[in-house]
Structure 1
Amino acid sequence: MKVAIMQPYFFPYIGYYQLMHEVDTFVIFDDANFIKKGWVHRNQILMDGEPHPFILPIQKMSQNKLISEHERALIEETVFKQIKQLRHAYHNAPYFEEAMPVLESCLTYPETNVAAYLSHGLIEVVRYLGIDSTILRTSDLQPNRELKGQERIIDYCQQLDATHYINAINGMSLYDQKSFQRVGIELSFLQSELPAYKQGTDTFHPYLSIIDCMMNCSIDEIHHMLHAYDLVTNRQTT
């Protein structure tokens, strides 16, 4: 069984969903430490032809607390602003009518806990995209708080009877092939190709939120993009 484990992000870019699509079970790492400069609470959309911040306000952000220990801030005024922002940015996009109800459903979800709120948003987008992977949260498993880093990931994989662990390419330096092989688990990394698509601009802007894909591409086009990646190992890149 192929497994991936990633922190929950706020409407992440398509590479995140490529990873979700590739595995049998995707585990949302909701009890990882919060990273202020990460993508848990922020992303970018295209507004007036340029990348623009799209933010999830959070109360008392701290890297000394878990993602699941954080709460949303300024909820009512933020959701109103976010929906207004998306309508301004994408009202002329070809798939606005199809995508906007899904995004509004995610944004207006009343959950205050950040991990639960982000997990719900990921699941709703996955349903829209037709990805059929099983989705769990690490808090649903049996976390061993004494384990750190790679050893904690291996423990989660063993709980799920994983035979193949796949991580995003930027995590390659964090994991050792031999440590996974020792417990009978294959280790690979997903290297996205990020295919260009029409954004209504002269210049293509990659790495934007999945929102931009949903607004500008059909489900069939996105399905094609979900396959645009390679799986590589540490050995292939050294």
Structure 2
Amino acid sequence: MILAVMQPTYIPWLGYFDLINSADQFLFLDDVKLEKSDWHVRNKIKGNQGEIMLSQVVSTPNGRMGSVICDTEFKEKHPWRKKHLKSIEMNYRKAPFFNSIFGVIQQYFLNECNNLADFNIGLTQVFLKSLEIQTSVNRSSKLPKIAGVKDERLANFCDFFKSDKYLSPRGASAYIERHSPGGLLAKSGVEVFYQQFEHPKYYQCYPPFVSHLGVVDALMNLGADQTKQLIESGHKQPLHYSELYTSN
């Protein structure tokens, strides 16, 4: 069984959904430190002037270093949701699939969820449903206490889910491979693979094409069915950890 693990993201990009779609079990890693300047709380859409960053507004009474994703709340009474909806509406109202996609997003945004992890995980699951990606998902904060840090904890997650394969974003190789090939995952008998996703081009309302936007952009321009096909077209055979060394 293939396990993949990632921190929850606000309006994830296409590669995030490729990672989920490539796994049998996906785990939202939501009991780790919040990075306010990271994709935990922000992502990009596109307007006629180019990229637009949408940032959620959270409260960190204990400071950024003392904040954990699953315990983080939005700043009370801040109108960021209405602002984001307005920005999405203004920039995509001429998109081919605006009418079918915007209503779904609007309905979700107007719920009263005030927890960052709950909101972003729930929003991602709305997108998963639209894309008909049926991978089983869980949250690390809802599991029994799983000890360890970095690759040690990943190995323990694999043991918990009885996973013999671990699929990782390529960027995580820096800490997985830091001491030995495949890290503690490989030492525990888990085969480690790295995601290979090549971002495809697609129709956007306003040229030139910009990649690595939040999935909303593709959904608005292509619709759910074609966005799913787009994600599948960018999927490439994952790289076995041993190939990191034979290819150098």
Q: Is the 8 A contact 1:46 1:89 kept in 2?
A: yes
Query: How far apart are 1:75 and its partner, in Å?
Result: 4.7
RMSD of aligned C-alpha atoms?
A: 1.5
Query: How far apart are 1:162 and its partner, in Å?
Result: 0.7
Secondary structure at the aligned position of 2:58 is classed as coil
Unaligned runs of 5+ in 2: none
Q: Deviations over 1:90-111 (max 9, x none)?
A: 0000111111122113322311
* In 2, Cα distance between equivalents of 1:111 and 1:225: 31
Structure-2 residue corresponding to 1:235: 242
In the TM superposition, 1:1-238 aligns within 5 A as: 1-60=1-60, 62-75=64-77, 77-145=79-147, 147-176=148-177, 177=182, 179-227=184-232, 228-230=234-236, 231-238=238-245
Return the letter of the residue paired with 1:20: I
Q: Is the 8 A contact 1:31 1:67 kept in 2?
A: yes
Secondary structure at the aligned position of 2:74 is classed as coil
Secondary structure at the aligned position of 2:151 is classed as helix
Query: How far apart are 1:13 and its partner, in Å?
Result: 0.5
* In 2, Cα distance between equivalents of 1:178 and 1:77: 44
Secondary structure at the aligned position of 1:125 is classed as helix
TM-score normalised by structure 1 residue count: 0.94
Change (3 A) 1:109 1:63: farther
* In 1, Cα distance between equivalents of 2:78 and 2:95: 26
TM-score normalised by structure 2 residue count: 0.90
* In 2, Cα distance between equivalents of 1:214 and 1:19: 18
Secondary structure at the aligned position of 2:207 is classed as coil
* In 2, Cα distance between equivalents of 1:137 and 1:178: 23
Return the letter of the residue paired with 1:179: L
Return the letter of the residue paired with 2:244: T
174-183 or 81-90, larger mean C-alpha shift: 174-183
Query: How far apart are 1:74 and its partner, in Å?
Result: 4.5
Q: Is the 8 A contact 1:102 1:128 kept in 2?
A: no
* In 1, Cα distance between equivalents of 2:107 and 2:167: 30
Q: Is the 8 A contact 1:169 1:189 kept in 2?
A: yes
46-55 or 220-229, larger mean C-alpha shift: 220-229
Q: Is the 8 A contact 2:154 2:185 kept in 1?
A: no
Unaligned runs of 5+ in 1: none
Secondary structure at the aligned position of 1:51 is classed as strand
Q: Which runs of 4+ in 1 moved over 6 A?
A: none
Secondary structure at the aligned position of 1:237 is classed as helix
Report how many residues are paired.
237
User: How many percent of aligned residue pairs carry the same amino acid?
Assistant: 22
Change (3 A) 1:76 1:108: farther
